[in-house]
Structure 1
């Protein structure tokens, strides 16, 4: 009888310990789920031509500063010319901040992203800066789009899309095609994202490629181009809240 009572007590203690550990694990998982990757991206509103401009990003995960982000990269372009963007790696200041310096050689309105990958998440806050009187970009936007055949329709307020156009694309090789989406500087999750692709030599033959959400707001697909030439890729985005956006890009396949 004493042995039975002893075994029951031991079993109860083991169960209580297991429940306690499970509760702690659940609390930790819940805490991790509540954390978000945030980036405070600071860029001056204006600058002079030739002036050194400092780009500064403070990265936090929950209440903690991220001192070892996987990647922090700044990308900037003259407004209306996103396909001619420039990317620069940041300097990790080892205090949760990442910085870089850039100069602009002529007047215009420039837009930029701070691409941040950390804690298995990706975010890309967007800013703009007016250099000089900012008139060059405004005067040339329409001519540039007509010349390059790119369609960048006006997006819904707060919505941003960044298509990471693959480079050095070869025939019959698999290519990663990734697009990052945000709404009000927060990753746009659970969207339906498809690529509509066609060769300009065969405009009547369109392919549709479904993507998968690899990380919050990050949608990926693999595509194989079977023929060389100039291709049009239209990124289509929809969700249950009535969002319907698209953006057109060109890809050269060798």
Structure 2
């Protein structure tokens, strides 16, 4: 009979311990506002503005408007422009943009050759990094540029090759 009471006593102690442990753990439940305690990063947004027409041999300005949470991103860590011609005959390395204020960044270039070009803007503010890209036409398109546009943009990455 004594053995039975010892086992019963141990079982009761385990049972009480489990109840206390569960009570303690339930007191540590998640705060309903726990998500607000963590830093919430809002993504950067960037709109690239190009002139309606580009003329070969003339200096043209391309602008990028950078916003975050609907407000101008005036403290970007960096904004760089990268420009290249589809056929690879013209390539401007990545260049730092001019900060015009109010979240507007720009670059001015002389485009000597007609054809299909691309601009990619690399922008970072805090932990948010974006690299939108836009195509534009300078002067007249060649036959191969026209064919490329008619076939779609799938081949562009292969032609461009080393850009990120």
TM range (shorter): 0.5 to 0.7
Deviations 1:106-142 (A, max 9, x none): 2111111111111212111111221111228739x9x
Unaligned stretches of 5+ in structure 2? 1-30
Q: In the alignment, what sits opposite 2:45? A: 38
Higher RCO (Cα < 8 Å, 6 or more apart): 2
Q: 1:86, CA displacement in angstroms? A: 2.8
Q: In the alignment, what sits opposite 1:92? A: 99
For 2:101 and 2:108, how far apart are their aligned partners in 1? Answer: 17
The Cα RMSD (Å) is 3.4
Q: In the alignment, what sits opposite 2:113? A: 106
**1:195-234 correspondence runs (5 A):** none
Residues 45 and 130, structure 1, Cα contact 8 Å, conserved in 2? no
Greater share of residues in helix:
2
Q: 1:153, CA displacement in angstroms? A: 6.0
Change (3 A) 1:105 1:63: same
Q: In the alignment, what sits opposite 2:88? A: 81
Change (3 A) 1:100 1:137: farther
Q: 1:48, CA displacement in angstroms? A: 0.8
SS at match of 1:68: coil
Q: In the alignment, what sits opposite 2:63? A: 56
For 2:37 and 2:104, how far apart are their aligned partners in 1? Answer: 26
Change (3 A) 1:67 1:82: farther
Normalising by structure 2, we get a TM-score of 0.63
Change (3 A) 1:137 1:52: farther
Change (3 A) 1:66 1:131: same
Larger Rg, first or second structure (1 or 2): 2
Q: How many residues align?
A: 128
- Are residues 1:67 and 2:68 paired? no
For 1:63 and 1:96, how far apart are their aligned partners in 2? Answer: 11
Q: 1:103, CA displacement in angstroms? A: 1.4
SS at match of 1:109: strand
**1:97-176 correspondence runs (5 A):** 97-135=104-142, 138=145, 154=155, 163=162
SS at match of 2:57: coil
Q: 1:81, CA displacement in angstroms? A: 1.7
Deviations 1:187-218 (A, max 9, x none): xxxxxxxxxxxxxxxxxxxxxxxxxxxxxxxx
